[in-house]
Amino acid sequence: MKIAVAMSGGVDSSAAAAILKSEGHELVGFTMQLWNQRRGLTVDEHGEPLPSRCCSLDDVYDARRVAEELGFHFYVLNLEKDFERDVVAPFVESYLQGETPIPCVACNSRLKFASLDRLAASLGCDKVATGHYARVEYDEQAGRYKLLRGRNLQKDQSYFLWELTQAQLARSFFPLGEMSKQDVREVARESGLAVAEKAESQEICFVPDGDYAGFIDRYLEAEGERAPGEGEIVNREGATLGQHQGIHRYTVGQRRGLGLSNERPLYVLQIEAARNRIIVGQEEELLSREFTASGVNWIAFDNPTEEVRASVRVRYRHEAQPATITPLEAERARVTFDTPQRAITPGQATVFYRGDEVLGGGWIEKQG
């Protein structure tokens, strides 16, 4: 089988390539150059560009070296313009709208898999392989491909893949789906790969310091724009309690950094971008049972016409909880939990599970 392998330069994608090579597959390696770290939009205390452990030139070199060590052709795809248009700019705009975006989902489905699919097809590849901890199976009875959680639930990355289509899943190959991180590193060691002990990258690749607000300020400045300035912090009744420093510096559920004095701790309940204000309240007010999702993609079946029972996650580290999903028009759905959940945050992804199977997912909408 001829397989296109997405290579980030890290241990996961490198081990995936080593596994496929050992199984006798013909491989073609691709690394995607997504972001120019030298643009200076993330800086250290001296104002110097801050390097990332993801999508850097060093990662490209590491990926190329692994391909050489394993003996297959390797190419670099420059997707910087596509990445900025489809991932970075929407990320900035989402924060300015009072949301808390998760760019890795759009990056995976709309950029990485879409680009690899096109290239794989042009080169006559049968599959596209990545280092994701997830699984794909074909259900002959249903005539559909199923997306399943990685066997190692601590590393499972199915949450980031819910936008994949049946066509993309048909060509997807996840060699690490049954493995633990320890198993993966052992494969890399046994294969003699130089990246076997390379540290993991946890941050968003274009914001390596985790300072999203600082990145947004510098991004907008480079575009000749400015983020909205300070505004009011109010309670549910509309009484002014203080001033915020820009809505892009806050997220639902946040407690620290509000600069408010109160008998009981206050938390961000809602961000009103149109009025440039933040609503705060008590922690128990963060609990809610219901929200609406847009851009819903169903994987396990065609768009349902009746209610669906599932376990639902509202952020990556959220433990899935029982809920009822009511399909709505225009690829939307209403999700109602059996018990209230904390800090359901607009802009985040929600993913629907039945056991290990991903039924589908969507984007959490702003309410009101």
**Domain ranges (residues) in the chain:** 2-190, 233-281, 288-364
Predicted confidence (pLDDT) at residue 78 exceeds the cutoff of 80: yes
Q: Which CATH class is domain 288-364?
A: mainly beta
Question: Comparing 18-27, 58-67, 352-361, which segment has the lowest mean pLDDT?
Answer: 58-67
Active-site residue identified among 55, 104, 107, 125: 107
Give the mean model confidence (pLDDT) for residues 265-291: 97
Contact of 29 with 72, CB cutoff 8 Å? yes
pLDDT (0 to 100) of residue 265: 94
Q: Percentage of residues in the chain with pLDDT exceeding 70?
A: 95
Give the mean model confidence (pLDDT) for residues 55-83: 92
pLDDT (0 to 100) of residue 57: 78
Write out pLDDT tens, residues 138-164.
Answer: 999 999 999 999 999 999 999 999 999
Which pair of tokens denotes residue 55? 């999508």
Enumerate long-range contacts of 133-139, CB under 8 Å, 24 or more apart: 133/12, 133/157, 133/174, 133/176, 133/177, 133/179, 134/158, 134/161, 134/174, 134/177, 135/174, 135/177, 135/178, 135/356, 136/169, 136/172, 136/173, 136/174, 136/177
pLDDT (0 to 100) of residue 205: 84
54 pLDDT tier (thresholds 50, 70, 90): low
pLDDT (0 to 100) of residue 110: 86
pLDDT (0 to 100) of residue 288: 96
Mean pLDDT of the chain: 93
Q: Which residue has the higher pLDDT, 219 or 44?
A: 219
What CATH number does the domain located at 2-190 have?
3.40.50.620
Domain 233-281 has CATH 2.30.30: yes
230 pLDDT tier (thresholds 50, 70, 90): very high
The yes-or-no answer to whether 2-190 and 288-364 have a common fold is no
pLDDT (0 to 100) of residue 38: 65
Known active-site residue 107:
yes
Write out pLDDT tens, residues 110-141.
Answer: 889 989 888 888 889 999 999 999 999 999 99
pLDDT (0 to 100) of residue 267: 97
